[in-house]
Amino acid sequence: MNQPADLELRSLRFRAERESQWRRLEALLRKAENGRARWLTDEELLEIPLLYRAAMSSLSVARATSLDASLVAYLESLATRTYFFVYGARTNVAERLVAFFRHDWPGAVKSLWRETLVAAAILVAAAVAGYALVLADPDWFSSIMPGEVSQGRDPTASTAFLKDILYNDHGREGLSAFATYLFTHNAQVSILAFALGFAFCIPTALLVADNGLSLGALCALYASRGLGFQIGGWLSIHGTTELLATAIAGGAGFRIGWAVIFPGSRSRLAAAAQAGRTTGAAMAGVVIMLVMAGILEGVGRQVIKLDWARYGIGAAMLCLWLAYFYLPRRARV
Amino acid sequence: MPDALPIAPALSDTQTALARRFVTPEGVDLRLTLASAGERGAAFLLDILILAAVLVVFTILAAWLAASGGEAVWEPIGIIWLLAFFVLRSGWFILFELTRRAATPGKRALGLRVVARDGGRLTGEAVFVRNAMREIEVFLPLVFLGAAKVAGESVGAMVTLLGLTWTGIFLLFPLFNRDRLRIGDFVAGTWVVKAPRRPLAVDLAEDQGRRRETIAFTSDQIAAYGVKELQVLEEVLRHRDKRTLHAVAERIRGKIGWRSRPGEADLDFLMAYYAALRRRLEHRLLFGHRRRDKFDRA
Judged by a CB distance cut-off of 8 A, whether residue B149 touches chain A is no
Rounded to 5 degrees, φ, ψ at A247 are: -65, -40
Cβ-based neighbours of A148, under 8 Å, separated by 6 or more: none
| Strand, helix or coil for residue A21 | helix
Q: Say whether B205 and A68 touch across the interface (CB within 8 A).
A: yes
- Does A10 sit within 8 Å of B78, measured CB to CB? no
Residue A88 to residue B205, Cβ atoms within 8 A: no
Minimal CA–CA distance to B132: which of B89, B85, B181, B101?
B89
**Does the distance separating the beta carbons of B24 and A68 come in below 8 Å?**
no
pLDDT mean over B225-233: 90
Query: How far, in Å, CA of A179 to CA of A298, rounded?
Result: 4
Residues B166 and B222 in one domain: no
Residue B2 has pLDDT above 50, yes or no: no
Model confidence, pTM? 0.83
Residue in B123, B188, B198 closest to A74 by CB: B198
B44 lies in the same domain as B169: yes
Contacts of A67 in chain B (CB under 8 A): 227, 230-231, 278, 281-282, 285
Binned at pLDDT 50, 70 and 90, residue B207 comes out as low
Q: Which residue of A has its CA nearest to B22?
A: A80
Which ipTM was obtained for this model?
0.85
- A301 at interface of B, judged by CB pairs closer than 8 A: no
| Residues B88 and B231 occupy one common structural domain | no
Burial of B136 (0-12, 13-18, 19+ CB in 10 A): buried
Does B140 map to a domain? yes
* A100 in contact with B, Cβ within 8 Å: yes
Please check whether residue B14 lies inside any domain of the structure: no
Is B43 within the bounds of a domain? yes
CB contact under 8 A, B136 and A195: yes
Can you tell me the distance from the alpha carbon of A30 to that of A33, in angstroms, rounded to the nearest whole number? 5
d(CA A151, CA A154): 8
Selected residue of A191, A204, A248 to mutate for chain B interface (largest B Cβ count, 10 A)? A191
User: In whole angstroms, what is the distance from residue B131 CA to residue B87 CA?
Assistant: 13
Query: Is residue B84 a part of any domain in this protein?
Result: yes
Residue from A269, A274, A278, A288 to probe the interface with B (highest B Cβ count within 10 Å): A269
Last residue of a domain, one of B143, B176, B194: B194
Between residues 195 and 224 of chain B, which touch chain A (CB distance below 8 Å)?
Answer: 195-201, 203-206, 209-210
Contact status, residue A41 vs residue A11, Cβ threshold 8 Å: no
Angle value at C-alpha A294, between A290 and A106, nearest 5 degrees: 25
Assess whether pLDDT exceeds 90 at residue B66: no
Per-residue pLDDT tens over the stretch A76-125: 999 998 998 888 765 667 788 888 898 899 999 999 999 999 999 999 99
**Is residue B238 within 8 angstroms of chain A, CB to CB?**
yes
Check CB contact of B227 with chain A, cutoff 8 Å: yes
Q: Which of A134-143, A321-330, B202-211 has the lowest mean pLDDT?
A: B202-211
Query: Does any domain span residue B12?
Result: no
B90 and B222 fall within a common domain: no
Residue after which a domain boundary falls, among B128, B163, B194: B194
pLDDT digits (tens, 9 = 90+) for A220-241: 988 988 888 888 888 899 999 9
User: Do both B72 and B183 map to the same domain?
Assistant: yes
Q: Output B210 or A319, whichever has higher pLDDT.
A: A319
Note down the domain range covering B82: 34-194
Calculate mean pLDDT across residues A172-188.
Answer: 75
Q: In whole angstroms, how far apart are CA A38 and each of A220, B24, B61, B254?
A: 59, 26, 33, 59
- CA atoms B201, B203, B204, B210: torsion sign: negative
**What contacts A9, CB < 8 A, 6 or more positions away?**
B205, B275, B278, B279, B282
pLDDT confidence of residue B6:
35
* Burial of A178: CB neighbours in 10 Å, binned 0-12, 13-18, 19+: buried
Is residue B17 in a domain?
A: no
What span, in angstroms and rounded, lies between the C-alpha atoms of A237 and B155?
Answer: 41
Pair (B47, B154) in one structural domain: yes
What is d(CA B269, CA B256) in angstroms, rounded to the nearest whole number?
12
Helix H, strand E, coil C: the string for chain B is CCCCCCCCCCCCHHHHHCEECCECCCCCECCEEECCHHHHHHHHHHHHHHHHHHHHHHHHHHHHHHHHHCHHHHHHHHHHHHHHHHHHHHHHHHHHHCCCCCCCHHHHHCCEEEEECCCCCCCHHHHHHHHHCHHHHHHHHHHHHHHHHHCCCHHHHHHHHHHHHHHHHHHCHHHHCCCCCCHHHHHHCEEEEECCCCCCCCCHHHHHHHHCCCCCCCHHHHCCCCHHHHHHHHHHHHHCCHHHHHHHHHHHHHHHCCCCCCCCCHHHHHHHHHHHHHHHHHHHHHCCCCCCCCCCCC
Pick from A5, A81, A10: which is nearest to B203 by CA?
A10
Residue B275 and residue B127 share a domain:
no
Are A145 and A130 in contact, with CB atoms under 8 Å apart? no
Check residue A199 and report its DSSP letter.
Answer: T
Q: How many domains does chain B have?
A: 2
Taking the CA of residue A227 and the nearest CA in chain B, the distance in Å comes to 32
DSSP string for A34-102 = IIIGGGS-HHHHHHHHHHHHHHHHHHHHHHHH---HHHHHHHHHHHHHHHHHHHS--S-HHHHHHHIII
Contact list in A for residue B82 (CB cut-off 8 A) is: 177, 180-181, 184
Q: Residue B21: inside a domain, yes or no?
A: no
Residues 30-59 of A with CB under 8 A from B: 32-33, 35, 37, 53, 56, 59
Give the sign of the dihedral formed by CA A212, CA A214, CA A217, CA A222: negative
Report the residue from A187, A199, A277 with minimal CB separation from B126. A277
Chain A partners within 8 Å of B285 (Cβ):
64-65, 67
- Per-residue burial over B34-48, b = 16 or more CB atoms within 10 Å of its CB, e = otherwise: bbbeebbebbbebbe
Of A248-257, A293-302, B67-76, B146-155, give the range with the top mean pLDDT: A248-257
- Could you tell me if residue B47 is inside a domain? yes
Average confidence (pLDDT) over A201-226: 90
Task: Give A-chain residues touching B90 at CB under 8 angstroms.
Answer: 187-188, 191
Same domain for B182 and B209? no
**Cα distance between residue B119 and residue B20, in whole Å:** 12
> Based on the domain organization, do B55 and B185 belong to the same domain?
yes
Q: What is the pLDDT of residues A195-204, one digit of tens each?
A: 888 888 888 9
Q: Given this model, what pLDDT does residue B212 score?
A: 56
B181-201 pLDDT tens trace: 999 999 999 999 998 888 888
Give the mean pLDDT of chain A.
86
Look at residue A25 in the predicted model and tell me its pLDDT.
94
Determine contact: A9 vs chain B, CB below 8 A. Answer: yes
Query: Of B194, B225, B243, which residue is a domain's last?
Result: B194
Residues of B in contact with A194 (CB under 8 A): 132, 135
